[in-house]
Structure 1
Amino acid sequence: MVDVGKWPLFTLLGAQEVSRIRQACVFGTSANEAIYITQDDEVFVFGLNCSNCLGTGDSQSTMVPKKLDFLRGKKVVSLSYGSGPHVLLATEGGELFAWGHNGYSQLGNGTTNQGVSPILVSNNLQNKKITQVACGSHHSLALTHDGEVFAWGYNNCGQVGSGATANQPTPRRVTNCLQGKVVMGIACGQTSSMAVLDNGEVFGWGYNGNGQLGVGNNGNQLIPCRLAALQGLCVLQIASGYAHSLALTDEGLLYAWGANTYGQLGTGNKSNQLSPVHIMAEKERGEGEWPAVGSKRTRENTEEAWHRETDRIVEIAACHSTHTSACKTQSGQVYMWGQCRGQSIVLPHLTHFSCTDDVFACFATPSVMWRLLSMEHDDFLTVAQSLRKEFDSPETADLKFSLDGKYIHVHKAVLKIRCEHFRSMFQSHWTEDMKEVIEIDQFSYPVYRSFLEFLYTDNVDLPPEDAIGLLDLATSYCENRLKRLCQHIIKRGITVENAFSLLSAAVRYDAEDLEEFCFKFCVNHLTEVTQTAAFWQIDGNMLKEFICRASRCGAFKN
């Protein structure tokens, strides 16, 4: 499962909000903006908001996610972003929305006014169903359901494919060599455009100073030009980096061309390539051509992985704002090369990652996402995810706990596996073993529910005041890990107002580390703490003990 928490922006969100995310994308010149779509198809944005790229209707930054009501309920099928940045978003219904930087008409609405809110791009796209979008630095591509490509925006190098270099203010169909052909995939470099046809042919147009079009020279192309060097190969996927390109064939072979300053082609050197080059398996290379990074052990691992003849490549990854490349093999091995955390890696380097997205989260500069990330790779749930899903589920539960007039549905087998207290309880000589409903009166509903949920999830989500009650339960049930978690929650949530109550609880439940922590906090904030209601409501003996102990620490010295 992909973890969005690997992108720093998403660490600003709470666990509950992160769990609602179905799709996400981190973008921007410094990876400072993010958009995500929830399970309910609500669209949220947050971040720096450069060039109004969040689409919130204003130019304000926000670290608190804001909802884009205009897009509510519209399932997103494709999303891309430029360097301005500007954003393109295609919905399941085939609608195309755009917002953000518009200095070159890259939003396609015929103006150069900034798009502070999502606008529906309709010029020349009436009755067209958009299935895929791609952005260059300041130009835009859209692919229709019928396999037509439309382009607009900045066109100084011919990246719109119109045959001229004038900027294109509204979507214009890319024709010439693509006339009558069915395109199935599009990609953009900074100032170049690529398309792959349903027959596996590849076309490129726009800037070609580094050979990123793969046509054998470095002259710009104002109309689509076929990559003759790929003749006889059937390409399934294309990907464009800042100024380099990758292609994946139906046989699982990888080809690369274009800029190679950082080794992003994976050829073993830093020379640009004007035509596609097969990125060979390591076993085909000479001994002296191994990557400079990594130990001998890393090289052995890489060689062993590439030696598997059936381990074909199934996915390639690149992004127009980075010089990084990645791929994934059939067996799940992920490789990266190019600019990785400032280093130049000139050959595919085996990583410990399970998906190409992690390469861009951890090694790319900026650490953007190379695609709209989906949390729904498949319907498979791990054991942990299955347990979490079934907590308090009446459909599958075989036991209920009753507290304060409310039920908590659980599974006896899970409780026996996870907790010694329940393992003992559900013995034949305990009356509870025969019951379908067990009454609990010594703990509150929120505390007991949190305890049972902890057994299913390993997590506790309680305010510090309720964590005191859970600490009591953990002590009673000899759940030491839960006890430590409760102490952590209390330490993290201590305030002047609750400090003395928490200290009392720590003493009552014999939590020595917590007691020491709360005591020091009370002494450090003695004047404020002694003015709280909790301080004066405390038991007389406890108060005397605290004063004596504080005195020994020098709290009352003049």
Structure 2
Amino acid sequence: MSISRWTCLSLVPEGVAEKIKLAVIFGSSGSDVIFVTTDDEVFSFGPCAASCLGCPPGSFLPRRIDELCGKAIRDISCGIHHVVALTEEGKIFSWGSQNSFGELGHGHSSSTDSRPQQVQGVLNGEKVVAIACGSRHTLAVSDKGELFSFGLNSDGQLGTGRAANESSPRIVPLHNRFVKSVACGHNNSMALTESGDVYVWGYNSNGELGLGHLTNQHCPILLDSLSKKAAIRKIACGYAHSLALSDDGILYAWGTNTSCGILEGKMARKNVLVPTVTQEQLGSISDIAATHQCNLSAACTRKSRVFMWGHLRNQPTPCAVETQFRTVDEVFACFASPAVSPRAISFLEMTQSPLLLSIRNAFNDPTHCDMKIIVEGKAIHVHKALLKIRCQYFRVRLGELWHDSNENTLEVKDFPYNVYKAFLHWLYTDELNVDLEEALGKF
């Protein structure tokens, strides 16, 4: 995707624009920008009256955020009046114009910090690997799989079991579950574990927790009805709806139905209170996106077709509309109101060739696979030819044991599902996403 999709990025000088590797677009008008360059400098600009830019507001000329330059920023997440940035070293910095609820995590709620400061407290010594901001609260995940939260807790969105706001990070009890990613709606929260389970908590008046009722929850609750259906690999939250993508490419949605896209039966006119398969006609899905800043949903299929539904420029559109975009992020540049990014956008990844994207999307896609690997009773869909090309072990195993290539199922008993799936994913993408302690403990 070219940065020209985002109108506000056209204001970046040409010599600087060519270096943008990561950017987030936010604010009530979708015209506030923070971006990171390939030489590890961080800039911001925009009219943001909320002073969330880490520099004096009102300027359309990019200005350096000195506190973040050289820090190797890898992710940025935004609330209404606060911003959180994550470094490669696992430190997080926050700043903003409002701190009445402790949303900055600096240990107080008496004053604002318009310049980035490191969030410390119980996060000292921890390596944070994932962050997410709701409107006025923040979640952070450590490399140990532990979950922390701070900020507004009016509806239980912090998951601490207490009613009080938290001005410093506080650990969220999750029964020793290893959390790998998080997502935040307006005032609700969601966590995804390594085993593919989803936990939910916080505001629930629209059914955005998927628990079958409309009662707020102050502690994380296992979304058991979803766990019984599928192992989940990706989650996303809109303003008042939630999305979950299974390992098999099936999309589930719940919450405000104009954003869920459930078109059949009585649910077509009501909020969806439990995880329900949506947009099944699209086929197997590889990526999803939503943001607490609007009511839009987007999905990309394994065949690289991008669809959108929800509020398209504030027009309710429950039916999925196919686009000519290459990524789900582009949907938000052109059809979200305001035109905000659903996440920090990596422009380096978007330069990947269509061939590599096709190979990436083919992983665990049952549509055209010719082999299943069974681990802990779960199937991983792969392609024999690619395994033999990429791995000596599979060249021998598939060449000698299955010389006629008629066998199409292999059961693996020596490794946990998460570790073996990460290994196979690496063969398709060159990206190794697994907890190293868990993986090394098996060798």
Q: TM-score per shorter chain, which class?
A: 0.7 to 0.9
Measure, in 1, the Cα distance between the counterparts of 2:352 and 2:321. 29
2:403 aligned residue: none
Matched, 1:37 2:9: no
2:91 aligned residue: 95
Amino acid at match of 1:116: S
Measure, in 1, the Cα distance between the counterparts of 2:34 and 2:288. 23
* Cα 1:119/1:247, change in 2 over 3 Å: same
Measure, in 1, the Cα distance between the counterparts of 2:151 and 2:351. 39
* Cα 1:335/1:143, change in 2 over 3 Å: same
> Would you say the 8 A contact 2:103–2:151 is kept in 1?
yes
* Cα 1:247/1:15, change in 2 over 3 Å: same
Amino acid at match of 1:158: G
Matched, 1:325 2:325: no
SS at 1:229 equivalent: helix
* Cα 1:351/1:206, change in 2 over 3 Å: same
Query: What do residues 454-512 of structure 1 show as CA deviations (whole Å, max 9, x unaligned)?
Result: xxxxxxxxxxxxxxxxxxxxxxxxxxxxxxxxxxxxxxxxxxxxxxxxxxxxxxxxxxx
> Would you say the 8 A contact 1:209–1:220 is kept in 2?
yes
Query: What do residues 331-356 of structure 1 show as CA deviations (whole Å, max 9, x unaligned)?
Result: 11000000001221112221111110
> Would you say the 8 A contact 1:77–1:131 is kept in 2?
no
1:243 aligned residue: 240
Measure, in 2, the Cα distance between the counterparts of 1:189 and 1:36. 23
Amino acid at match of 1:55: G
Measure, in 1, the Cα distance between the counterparts of 2:4 and 2:13. 10
Q: How far 1:229 sits from its partner (Å)?
A: 1.1
SS at 1:325 equivalent: strand
> Would you say the 8 A contact 1:78–1:131 is kept in 2?
no
Measure, in 2, the Cα distance between the counterparts of 1:128 and 1:9. 35
1:17 aligned residue: 16
Measure, in 1, the Cα distance between the counterparts of 2:352 and 2:255. 39
Q: Which runs of 5+ in 1 are unaligned?
A: 283-305, 383-558
Amino acid at match of 1:223: C
Measure, in 2, the Cα distance between the counterparts of 1:50 and 1:248. 36
- Give runs of aligned pairs for residues 287-366 of structure 1, distance below 5 A: 306=282, 311-366=283-338
SS at 1:361 equivalent: helix
> Would you say the 8 A contact 2:196–2:227 is kept in 1?
no
- Give runs of aligned pairs for residues 228-307 of structure 1, distance below 5 A: 228-232=224-228, 233-260=230-257, 263-268=258-263, 269-282=268-281, 306=282
Query: What do residues 423-474 of structure 1 show as CA deviations (whole Å, max 9, x unaligned)?
Result: xxxxxxxxxxxxxxxxxxxxxxxxxxxxxxxxxxxxxxxxxxxxxxxxxxxx
Measure, in 2, the Cα distance between the counterparts of 1:109 and 1:11. 34
* Cα 1:184/1:380, change in 2 over 3 Å: closer
Q: How far 1:164 sits from its partner (Å)?
A: 2.1
Amino acid at match of 2:314: G
Amino acid at match of 1:368: V
Matched, 1:208 2:204: yes
Q: Normalising by the residue count of structure 1, what TM-score does the alignment of the two structures yield?
A: 0.61
Measure, in 2, the Cα distance between the counterparts of 1:244 and 1:237. 15
Q: How far 1:77 sits from its partner (Å)?
A: 1.9
SS at 1:360 equivalent: helix
2:144 aligned residue: 146
Amino acid at match of 1:256: A
Amino acid at match of 2:159: G
Q: How far 1:281 sits from its partner (Å)?
A: 2.3
1:198 aligned residue: 194
Structure 2 residue corresponding to 1:370, chosen from 338, 342, 349: 342
* Cα 1:183/1:341, change in 2 over 3 Å: same
Q: Which has the higher contact order (CA 8 A, sep 6+)?
A: 2
SS at 1:30 equivalent: coil
Measure, in 1, the Cα distance between the counterparts of 2:323 and 2:352. 24
Measure, in 1, the Cα distance between the counterparts of 2:311 and 2:116. 33
Query: What do residues 316-335 of structure 1 show as CA deviations (whole Å, max 9, x unaligned)?
Result: 10000110000001111000
Amino acid at match of 1:166: A
Q: How far 1:40 sits from its partner (Å)?
A: 0.1
- Give runs of aligned pairs for residues 58-69 of structure 1, distance below 5 A: 58=56, 60-69=57-66
Larger radius of gyration: 1
* Cα 1:270/1:42, change in 2 over 3 Å: farther
Q: Which runs of 5+ in 2 are unaligned?
A: 355-443
> Would you say the 8 A contact 1:270–1:346 is kept in 2?
no
2:71 aligned residue: 74
> Would you say the 8 A contact 1:52–1:115 is kept in 2?
no
Mean Cα displacement is larger for which, 227-236 or 320-329? 227-236
SS at 1:17 equivalent: helix
Amino acid at match of 1:265: C
- Give runs of aligned pairs for residues 159-170 of structure 1, distance below 5 A: 159-170=157-168
Measure, in 2, the Cα distance between the counterparts of 1:114 and 1:31. 22
SS at 2:349 equivalent: coil
Amino acid at match of 2:158: V
Q: Normalising by the residue count of structure 2, what TM-score does the alignment of the two structures yield?
A: 0.76
Q: How far 1:379 sits from its partner (Å)?
A: 6.4
SS at 1:141 equivalent: strand
Mean Cα displacement is larger for which, 4-13 or 133-142? 4-13
* Cα 1:28/1:379, change in 2 over 3 Å: closer
Q: How far 1:378 sits from its partner (Å)?
A: 6.3
Query: What do residues 122-148 of structure 1 show as CA deviations (whole Å, max 9, x unaligned)?
Result: 111111001111111101111111111
Measure, in 1, the Cα distance between the counterparts of 2:348 and 2:7. 21
> Would you say the 8 A contact 1:52–1:114 is kept in 2?
no
1:222 aligned residue: 218
Amino acid at match of 2:332: F
Amino acid at match of 2:144: D
> Would you say the 8 A contact 2:250–2:280 is kept in 1?
no
1:291 aligned residue: none
Measure, in 1, the Cα distance between the counterparts of 2:99 and 2:46. 19
Measure, in 1, the Cα distance between the counterparts of 2:176 and 2:260. 32
1:157 aligned residue: 155
SS at 1:88 equivalent: strand
Measure, in 2, the Cα distance between the counterparts of 1:29 and 1:104. 20
Q: How far 1:14 sits from its partner (Å)?
A: 2.7
- Give runs of aligned pairs for residues 130-145 of structure 1, distance below 5 A: 130-145=128-143
SS at 1:51 equivalent: coil
> Would you say the 8 A contact 1:22–1:36 is kept in 2?
yes
Measure, in 1, the Cα distance between the counterparts of 2:317 and 2:67. 43
Mean Cα displacement is larger for which, 354-363 or 162-171? 162-171
- Would you identify which runs of 4 or more consecutive aligned residues in structure 1 move more than 4 Å? 378-382
SS at 1:196 equivalent: strand
Measure, in 2, the Cα distance between the counterparts of 1:368 and 1:98. 19
Measure, in 1, the Cα distance between the counterparts of 2:193 and 2:107. 29
